[in-house]
Amino acid sequence: MEQRLRVVMAQLNIRVGDVYGNVEKVIEAAHKARDDLNAQVIVFPELTLCGYPPEDLLLRSSMQSRIEKALQQVKNAVKGIVAVIGFPWVEDGARYNSCAVISDGEELARYNKQRLPNYRVFDEKRYFESGSGPCVVELFGVPVGITICEDIWFSEPLKQACDAGAQIMLTLNASPFHRGKQAEREKLLAKRASECSIPMIYVNQVGGQDELVFDGNSFVVDGGGKVTQRAPAFEEGLFVTEFEIKEGALVPVPAQTTELLSLEASVYQALVAGVKDYVQRNGFKGVVLGLSGGIDSALVLAVAVDALGAENVEAVMMPYHYTAQMSQDDAKEEADILGVKYSVLPIAPMVEAFLSTLAPMFEGLGKDTTEENLQARCRGTMLMAISNKKRYLVLTTGNKSEMAVGYATLYGDMAGGYDVLKDVPKTLVFRLCEYRNTLGYVIPQRVIDRPPSAELAPDQKDEDSLPPYPVLDEILRLYIEQDLSADAITEKGFDKEVVRKVIRLVDLNEYKRRQAAVGPRVTERGFGRDRRYPITSGWSIGE
């Protein structure tokens, strides 16, 4: 056994589906790890060659042949360093979530993931069969065990590898972010490492992929479960970790341990990463959004500018009769502070044209939300026209509380390609604004302090028709993230009728969410693939 083992954690931003592009990135990283970082081993994330999650691209007939070609390229090009790399693999009619250990053109070992997550956002049993048995391979005299992501959430796979002699564990991951996730991971690895007294290297990818954001945060724990190194969150890079042999055991050399981000910082960075990758990877030059003078669009504007640069962001204020002058002033101020292009396009001519065309049909019927929705839809149509003409993506600004209770207009303020705050409850929106202002004042304080209003009717306030946001958000958290019933939530001290009203709204508005834009998941349970409810449902509220 040599005296030192130098491993690179390849915390890469992988592109789903782009097998040929990903393999080039892999080869470049391996060469850099070998030549510049003097590493012996480089470990890539789960399913690196196809990206994660590949979804039904896995079912395409040519996925396997592309992967085979890519793997051959790795074998041909990666010499002088051992590469541990994940990819899907079909054998005897079964598809596995696999990884291979490649050294100088040879495949030294192969491992198939044993535990397949099939809950929340994960659908791995749709695609993969479970592997059986551990993988331990000797590298530079050290018996190295390998697991993939979900494996380590159970005791057995690690225990198998240790029983087979592993003295260090590599774990390849594509582990999506949610608030507090890194603390969970580190707690888990501390437990696992201690169970077997073995050091572990946890490699995760970074970047946004539709609903998911990957935060990186690759890290190392020693045999006692202590974190000895942590790579930065949301930052692509090759991070070296080194081990030395002390009294016959592998001991990680303590290295840069980036501080854990605060909740606000981690969520904010997740939103920025989500916007950046969604916009750029879908080929848009920039984004356009409607500024209302309210807090949600102010936050989205800040995120967009941090993600894409002010020169790629356009803001449009679309006032109507109910838009306060204060809202127009604040919207302009937001745009001015951040230096984005700002336009004012009043919607009255369109709204009036619709209303007068519809007047004969609506005769005798009173005013209701129809007229409010019409305003929102004129704004949505305007933004989409700008989007079409300039090839800018429309960012929508609905937060999770609004998406939950349907406090948004389909094809109106919901019109757009990416909903930045889709999984951010309103109370967290406030905290994120305060946080962003600590980095530099960009959101006028008045925008944060004003009572929220959709301004679709005279003197309208959100809290006229909804409970105060701290109450609403807690009921929503218990109902959506914890699946509690109305009765169970009421027992926690909330008003029974308020709870039932909120839950009824959540259930009723499934049809709106089904047509909503995707947006980055930042809580333990977002909307989208994470929460699959029928639209047509006879479920009754209560126990």
Contact partners, residue 356, CB within 8 Å, separation at least 6: none
100 is a contact residue toward its own copies (CB under 8 A): no
149 is catalytic: yes
| DSSP codes of every residue in 396-412 | E---HHHHHHT-S-TTT
Answer yes or no: are the C-beta atoms of 171 and 203 closer than 8 Å: yes
- Which residue's CB is nearer to its own copies, number 13 or number 327? 13
Say if residue 296 carries a ligand binding annotation: yes
Structure tokens at 35: 């030549």
Give the x/- contact pattern for its own copies in 21-40, rule: CB under 8 A: xx------------------
Q: In what order do the strands lie in the sheet with 168-172?
A: 136-139, 142-148, 168-172, 200-203, 219-221, 227-230
Catalytic residue chosen out of the listed positions 50, 149, 378, 433: 149
Shorter beta-carbon distance to its own copies: residue 225 or 416: 416
Residues 6+ apart with CB under 8 A from 71: 49, 87, 100, 102
Helices (H), 15-138: 19-35, 63-77, 124-127
Identify the residue among 382, 404, 442, 456 touching its own copies (CB under 8 A).
Answer: 382
The alpha-helical segments, DSSP class H, found in 78-180 are 124-127, 156-163
Q: From CA 457, how far away is CA 255, in angstroms rounded? A: 58
The answer to whether 294 is annotated as binding is: yes
Q: Does 523 bind its own copies (CB under 8 A)?
A: no
163 binds its own copies (CB under 8 A): no
Residue 76 or 515 with smaller CB distance to its own copies: 515
Among 3, 106, 248, 365, binds its own copies (CB under 8 A): 365
Instruction: Show the tokens assigned to 527.
Output: 């909307």
Q: Does 108 bind its own copies (CB under 8 A)?
A: no
Tokens at 534, concatenated:
């029928």
Interacting positions 109-138 with its own copies (CB under 8 A): 118-119, 123, 125-126
User: Residue 276 annotated as binding?
Assistant: no
Give the residue, chosen from 90, 358, 448, 457, that forms a contact with its own copies under the rule CB under 8 A. 358
Structural tokens at position 477: 């958290």
Considering only residues 65 to 84 of the shown chain, the ones binding its own copies according to CB under 8 A are 65-66
Residues 243-302 that bind its own copies (CB under 8 A): 277-278, 281-282
**Smallest distance from the beta carbon of 384 to its own copies, in angstroms?**
6
Residue 402 labeled ligand binder: yes
Contact status: 154 vs its own copies (CB under 8 A):
no
- Quick check: 93 binds its own copies (CB under 8 A)? no
Establish whether 283 is an annotated binding residue.
Answer: no
Shortest Å, Cβ 201 to its own copies: 27
* 499 makes contact with its own copies (CB under 8 A): no
Q: Where are the alpha helices (DSSP H) in 282-345?
A: 295-308, 325-338
Distance in Å, CB of 366 to its own copies, minimum: 9
Question: Is 162 a catalytic site residue?
Answer: no
Q: Please tell me whether residue 61 binds its own copies under the rule CB under 8 A.
A: yes
Strands (E), 407-488: 418-419
Q: Are 211 and 121 in contact (CB under 8 A)?
A: yes
Active site residues: 46, 113, 149
